[in-house]
Amino acid sequence: MHNQYAWYFTTAMAASWPQLAYLGLYSGAGRAQLRKTNEIVETTAMSVLRLPKPFTKYIFVDSDQRCIDALRQRIAVLPSKHDVSFIPGDVNVVVPDIRRAMPTFSRGRGLLSFCFVDPFAANLRFAAIHGLSDYRMDFLVLLMLGRDVRTNLKQYHDDPTSTRIADFINCPDWRQDLAASRDKNIVRFMLTKFDEAMVRLGYLSAEEHLRHQITAAGTGVLQYVLVFYSKNPLGQKFWRETMKSGPPQLPLDLR
């Protein structure tokens, strides 16, 4: 779905926007090894370089220096050359570095961006999104609501020093709000709070039909929810098309 949306975004926008930036937060190393089969698969940080109309700028952020080094090496040997910045560090800390790496823009040289946020856990602080929200930037965010939030809720809730949930949904009073809410379903509560925080930044609400839930294979147990945010109805239109369609036909060789 990430690849499909990136394909719509660049294909439709390249003609009218001189600069298209891609930001991969929690980017990983560009390849991953599957646990059961040991098969090595390409991940988003590499597949996003395959687009027929590539982004004009790529920025990858990962806190693991080994991931950044591996990704840098993998991209360096590609036959096609891309303008890429690698930022080693915690997504929640390096927003000023991301802003420095973002292309400058002006009226005559506009910039449109797409950001994919792909953490292992609910350790994203909403302040990071807030710190980038003045760009024209669509966000595709993987919310670890099953695997992290639901599994560890008691711990996050009962430890008064834990600000993990509050920081994630930008809601310091979440414990009181949850207690006052008639619906005690934590996944729906978090989705609503995250959505409200994005709407306060000027994004269009990701109504239920724009969310994609991922469950563990064979069990039906919720793992995470993929949510999409744009300030522009056209972005939502592309996301709807993405949810409907299968994987894009990207070239097999990395260009």
Ligand X SMILES: C[S@@+](CC[C@H](N)C(=O)[O-])C[C@H]1O[C@@H](n2cnc3c(N)ncnc32)[C@H](O)[C@@H]1O
Return phi, psi of residue 11, to 5°. -65, -45
Q: What is the rounded distance in angstroms from the CA atom of residue 227 to the CA atom of residue 246? A: 18
Element housing 76 (H / E): helix 65-76
Per CB under 6 A, 19 contacts ligand X: no
Q: Which of 13, 67, 111, 141 binds ligand X (CB under 6 A)?
A: 67
**Helices within 117-185 (DSSP H only):** 126-130, 151-158, 164-169, 174-180
- Burial label for 184, CB within 10 Å (0-12, 13-18, 19+), is exposed
Per CB under 6 A, 32 contacts ligand X: yes
Q: Which span (3-11, 89-97, 163-171, 201-209) binds ligand X, by CB under 6 A?
A: 89-97
Site for ligand X in 45-64 (CB under 6 A): 61-64
Q: What string marks each residue from 104 to 143 as x (binds ligand X by CB under 6 A) or -? A: --------------xxx--x--------------------
Residue 120 or 176: which CB sits closer to ligand X? 120
Per CB under 6 A, 40 contacts ligand X: no
Contact residues: ligand X, CB under 6 A: 26-28, 32, 43-44, 61-64, 67, 90-92, 118-120, 123
